[in-house]
Structure 1
Amino acid sequence: MRRLLWIGMLLAGLQARAQFDVAFTNSWALQSWYNPAAAGVGGQLDVHGVYSQQMAGFTGAPATMALTADLPLWFFGPSHGAGLGFMNDKAGLFTTKKIYLQYAYHQKLGKGRLSVGVRPVILTESFDGSKADIEDSSDPAFATSQVTGTAFDLDAGVRYTWGQRWYAGVSAAHLVSPTIRLGDEKSYELKVRPSLYATGGYKFRFRNPLYAVATDALLSTDLREWRGDLAARLLYDGAKHKLYGGVMYSPTYSVGVLLGINFHGVNIGYSYEIYTGGIGALNGTHEVMLGYQTDLNLFKKGKNLHKSVRLL
C-alpha cells in the first residue's frame, strides 16, 4: 500500500498549492495563465515574467518564478491563439515545476469574441528529504533523500471579450486530477485536486481620454475552499509612456498596492501584498513583473494589423 507524503506543516504549503496553484498579485496581467482561452486574445505577442516572494522574512517561504507567452494566429478564417509557459515554485523542501503549451480558438459572437482554449501540462514535484529534520530517519513513511515525480495534466477554459471594455471567463485546471508518484519505487503520492477559476474585468473611461480605471476579479476554488481577488488600477495613457497605480483586496486573506509603467511595449510592475491574518505588515508578498508586447500577427494577410484589446 502506497504511503502519502504529508509531513506536518511542510506539506500544508504543498496542499495549498494543489488547491489553488499560485495566486499572483498581478493576475490581471497574466490572463492566459489562468485561462487558456485568453491565448492570443490581445491581438499581440505578449510575454510576461513574474517573480513572487511570499511571506518575506520567513525561512523556506514560497518563492515563485513564472514565464508565460502567447500570440494570435490567423488561418482558415477565424483567429486562433497559441502560447506556452513555465513555472518554478519552491516552498521549503518542496519544488513544483510546470511547463505547458496552449491553444485557443476565437470566433466573433455579437459585438465581441468568444474564445475556447485547452492546455496540456507537465507537472513535476520534488521533495528534498535529505534536508528534513526527522527524529526517526528509518521510518519508511518519510523520504530521506531527493524524490521526484512527474504527471500529465490538462486545463481548459472559455472566455468572452467585448472590445477593450470588458471580459469574462471560466476555466478548469487539473481536469484529469493527476496523481504524482515520487521516488524510484514511486512510494510517495501527491493527489492534485481539480480547481475552477472565474475571471472578469471592466474598464471605466472618463471624458479625459488620458485616464481610465481598470477593474479585475479572480475567483478560485477546489470546491472545498475559496479565494477571491479584486483589483482596481488608475491608468494614465501619456504620449510617451503609460502609468498605473492601484490596490487589490482578497477577502479574509490580504490587501495590496500595485504600481507600474509601460513604455515602448515594455511593461514593468511591482506589487506588495500584506496578509490580514496577523503575520505582520513587513512579512507580505513582494512581486516583480516584466512584460513585453508587440504586433506579431503570423499567417494574417494584409496591412491592417489587429488592434490590441488587452485591458492594460
Structure 2
Amino acid sequence: MKRILIFLFLLIIVNFVARAQQDPQFSQNMFNHLTINPGFAGKSDAINASLLNRFQWVGFPGAPVTTVFNADATVGLIGQEDGIGFSVMNDEIGYEKNISVSLIYAWRTDVGNGKLGTGISIGLMNKNLKPGWSSDAGANLIDQGDPLIPQSEVNALVPDIGFGLFYEHKDYYLGLSVKHLNQAVYSYEESGKYSLVRNYYFSGGYNIRLSDPLFEVQPSLLFKTDAASYQVDVDVNVRYNKRVWGGLGYRLNDAVIVLLGTEFRNGIKVGYSYDLTISPLARYSSGSHEFFIAYSFNLNRRREQKYKSVRFL
C-alpha cells in the first residue's frame, strides 16, 4: 500500500511538473541568467564559462537531476560590445530525459545610464522516454496498459527558439525573456504528441551599498509563468569584499533557500545552495542541493602579480 501511495503521489508531481514547470527550476538564479535569458550574453567584457548541477528533492524516487553548461563572450560582430553564447542542458526526471543545445546572440546598446542586451537563442531539444523506468525498490512504475505511454524507448528532436531583454545599470538589473517561443511539438508514433509551451521570465536585482564599503546587500527576484501557473523566487545575498557572499531565499509555497559562495582571485567562482522543502514533499525528500563553478577571463585587464616564491603561482 505504501508503494502504491508513493507511486500515485509521484504521478501527481510529475504531471504537475510536466504541465506547470516544463523548464527545470534553479535556486542560484542570480548566477544563471544565460540559461533563461539570451539578452545576458556578453554582459561583461570577458569570456565566461559556468557549470551548474542541481539535485532536486533528494531521496524521492525519480527526482529531477539537472546539469547546465553555459559560456558567453563579448565580440564585435554588429556592435562593439555584442555578445555570443552557448548553452547545453541535461534534465532528467523519472522516465523522461531532456537534452537541449542552444546558440545565443545578443545585440548590446547604450540606454540611459546602462546597457540593454537584446538576445535570441536558437537550438535543438531532444526528449527521451524510457517506459521501463522503475523505483529503487525495483517495482515497475509504468502501467503497460496505458495507451499514452510508449511500450519501448522513444526519442524526438525539435527546434527551439528563445528571446530576451536584459538591462544592466551599475546599481540594478532587469530581465524579461521567453523560452520555447515557437512552441515546438514532439511527435511519437506510439503515444501521440507532446507540446512545449512558452515560459515567460521576469528577473530583477539591486545592489545596496552600505556605509561600510566592504559590505553590499543584493536582493533579487525571479518570476516565471507559463500563463497557466506561476512561481516566485525572492533572494537576499550579503556580499563581503566583492568575493564572499551568503544569503537566504524563499520560493513561494515550496522552499526556504540557503545560499553560499566565494570568488577566488584567479577568477574562479563557486557556489552552493540548499533548499529546505516546506511543501508536502518534505515528508519524502531531504531537500535539494545545487552546486556551480564558474570562471571569468577578463579580456582587457592586465594582471600584474608579484610572487615571493615560484612555488606559489
TM bucket, shorter chain: 0.7 to 0.9
Paired residues of 1:100 and 1:121 also in contact (CA < 8 A) = yes
Alignment: residue pair count: 288
Q: Which amino acid aligns with 1:296?
A: L
Return closer, same or farther for 1:226/1:141 CA change in 2, 3 Å cut-off.
closer
Match of 1:4 in 2: none
Match of 1:70 in 2: 72
Match of 1:195 in 2: 199
| Mapped pair 1:213 → 2:214 | no
Q: Which amino acid aligns with 2:259?
A: L
Match of 1:310 in 2: none
Q: Which amino acid aligns with 2:184?
A: P
In the aligned structure 1, how far is the partner of 2:100 from the partner of 2:84?
A: 17
Match of 2:3 in 1: none
In the aligned structure 1, how far is the partner of 2:197 from the partner of 2:92?
A: 19
Match of 2:95 in 1: 93
Helix, strand or coil for the counterpart of 1:131? coil
Paired residues of 1:213 and 1:233 also in contact (CA < 8 A) = yes
In the aligned structure 2, how far is the partner of 1:267 from the partner of 1:229?
A: 22
Cα displacement string for residues 60-101 of structure 1 (whole angstroms, at most 9, x for unaligned residues): 111111111111112454410000011111111110111101
Paired residues of 1:260 and 1:270 also in contact (CA < 8 A) = yes
Match of 1:150 in 2: 157
Return closer, same or farther for 1:236/1:188 CA change in 2, 3 Å cut-off.
same
Match of 1:255 in 2: 256
Q: How far is 1:261 from its partner?
A: 1.1
Q: How far is 1:257 from its partner?
A: 0.2
Cα displacement string for residues 182-213 of structure 1 (whole angstroms, at most 9, x for unaligned residues): 3xx36432111111100111001122221111
Paired residues of 2:219 and 2:234 also in contact (CA < 8 A) = yes
For 1:74-223, list aligned pairs within 5 A. 74-131=76-133, 133=140, 137=144, 140-163=147-170, 165-182=171-188, 185=189, 187-223=191-227
In the aligned structure 2, how far is the partner of 1:135 from the partner of 1:57?
A: 20
Return closer, same or farther for 1:47/1:11 CA change in 2, 3 Å cut-off.
farther
In the aligned structure 2, how far is the partner of 1:187 from the partner of 1:135?
A: 14
In the aligned structure 2, how far is the partner of 1:219 from the partner of 1:139?
A: 36
| Mapped pair 1:290 → 2:293 | yes
Any stretches of 5+ residues in structure 2 without a counterpart?
1-7, 135-139, 304-313
Q: How far is 1:42 from its partner?
A: 2.1
Paired residues of 2:79 and 2:108 also in contact (CA < 8 A) = no
In the aligned structure 2, how far is the partner of 1:278 from the partner of 1:19?
A: 17
Return closer, same or farther for 1:37/1:304 CA change in 2, 3 Å cut-off.
farther
Q: How far is 1:304 from its partner?
A: 9.5
In the aligned structure 2, how far is the partner of 1:72 from the partner of 1:256?
A: 32
Q: Greater shift after overlay, 12-21 or 282-291?
A: 12-21
Q: How far is 1:131 from its partner?
A: 3.1
Q: Greater shift after overlay, 274-283 or 144-153?
A: 274-283
Match of 1:236 in 2: 240
Q: How far is 1:262 from its partner?
A: 0.8
Identity of aligned residues (%): 27
Match of 2:57 in 1: 55
Q: Greater shift after overlay, 129-138 or 258-267?
A: 129-138
Give the aligned CA root-mean-square deviation in angstroms. 2.4
Helix, strand or coil for the counterpart of 1:130? coil
Match of 2:17 in 1: 16
Any stretches of 5+ residues in structure 1 without a counterpart?
1-6, 298-302, 306-312
Helix, strand or coil for the counterpart of 2:14? helix
Cα displacement string for residues 134-156 of structure 1 (whole angstroms, at most 9, x for unaligned residues): 78636644312111111111100
Helix, strand or coil for the counterpart of 2:280? coil
In the aligned structure 2, how far is the partner of 1:141 from the partner of 1:244?
A: 47
Helix, strand or coil for the counterpart of 2:259? strand
Match of 1:35 in 2: 37
In the aligned structure 2, how far is the partner of 1:143 from the partner of 1:11?
A: 19
Helix, strand or coil for the counterpart of 2:132? helix
In the aligned structure 2, how far is the partner of 1:135 from the partner of 1:160?
A: 46
